[in-house]
A = this chain, B = another copy of it.
Amino acid sequence: MTADPARRNERSRRAILTAALDLLGETGYADLTIEAIAARAGVGKQTIYRWWRKKGAIILEALVDAMAAAEAVALPDTGDLAADLRTVMRATVAEFADPKLSATTRAITIETLGDESLGVQVRDQLLRPQLDAVKDRLRAGRDAGQVRDGVDLDQAVELLFGPLYHRWLLRTGPLTDDYADGIVELAVAAIRPDRK
C-alpha cells in the first residue's frame, strides 16, 4: 500500500528538491505550485504526492538537505562573548539580506504559519540546531563568569534572535550590522553578572 523507500528514485528526489528551491528563488512563492515543481523537475505529479504530503514538506526537506551538506553548526569561542555573538548575529543579518535565502525563509515561514505539525518539524530540524549552538556558547560564557547565574539561557537566546526576526518580519527598520551589534550589546548587558 505504502510506498517503499528502498525503491525510491534518488534522481527524481533531487530533481524535485532542486526545482522547488530554484522556483522559489526565481519567481517567488506565488509560482511555487506542485505542478510547476513537477514540470520543472521533469517528474510526474504523483511522484511528488507519493513522498510528500504538503508543499511545505518539500521545502523543509530541501533545506534540511542543504544544511546537512554544510558543515556542522558551531559558534566560535574566542573568549570574547560579545564578539562571538556579533559574529553569529551579523551572519543572520546577512542571511536575511540575501534575496534568495530570504525568499526561502519567507516561504517556509508562511507554510509554518499555516501548518502546526510542519512548524514543529521546522523548529526541531532547522532552527533548534542553530539556537542550541548559541545556547552552548552562552553556557560556556556562564561557566567563564560572563553570564549571571539566574539567567534562563533560552530566554537569552531569544533576546538575541527575537529582535532580528521581528525587524525582518515586520519591517520595522533596517536590518544592518549596526543593528545586530546594538542588540548584542543590549543582550550582553541584560545577562552579565551584577556589578558589586
Give the residues in chain B near A189, CB-CB below 8 Å: 189-191
| In the complex, per-residue mask of A153-196: 1 if CB is within 8 Å of any chain B CB, else 0 | 01110110111111101111100000100110011011100110
Cβ–Cβ contact A164 & B162, under 8 A? yes
Cβ–Cβ contact A183 & B155, under 8 A? yes
Cβ–Cβ contact A156 & B186, under 8 A? yes
Complex Cα–Cα for A195 and B172 (A): 31
Complex Cα–Cα for A131 and B164 (A): 16
Residue A142 interfacial (CB < 8 Å)? no
Give the residues in chain B near A169, CB-CB below 8 Å: 109, 112-113, 165, 169
Residue A123 interfacial (CB < 8 Å)? yes
Residue A90 interfacial (CB < 8 Å)? no
Interface residue count on the A side (C-beta < 8 Å): 43
Give the residues in chain B near A73, CB-CB below 8 Å: none
Report how many copies the assembly holds.
4
Residue A106 interfacial (CB < 8 Å)? yes
Complex Cα–Cα for A120 and B151 (A): 35
Complex Cα–Cα for A131 and B106 (A): 23
Of chain B, the residue at the smallest CB distance from A148 is: B189
Residue A71 interfacial (CB < 8 Å)? no
- Name the interface residues of A1-51: CB closer than 8 Å to any CB of B: 29-30
Cβ–Cβ contact B114 & A113, under 8 A? no
Q: List 14 A-B contacts (CB under 8 A).
A: A109-B113, A110-B110, A112-B170, A113-B169, A122-B170, A123-B171, A154-B173, A155-B179, A155-B182, A158-B167, A165-B166, A169-B169, A186-B191, A189-B190
Which residues does A use to contact B, with CB under 8 Å? 29-30, 106, 109-110, 112-114, 119-120, 122-123, 127, 131, 151-152, 154-156, 158-159, 161-167, 169-173, 179, 182-183, 186-187, 189-191, 194-195
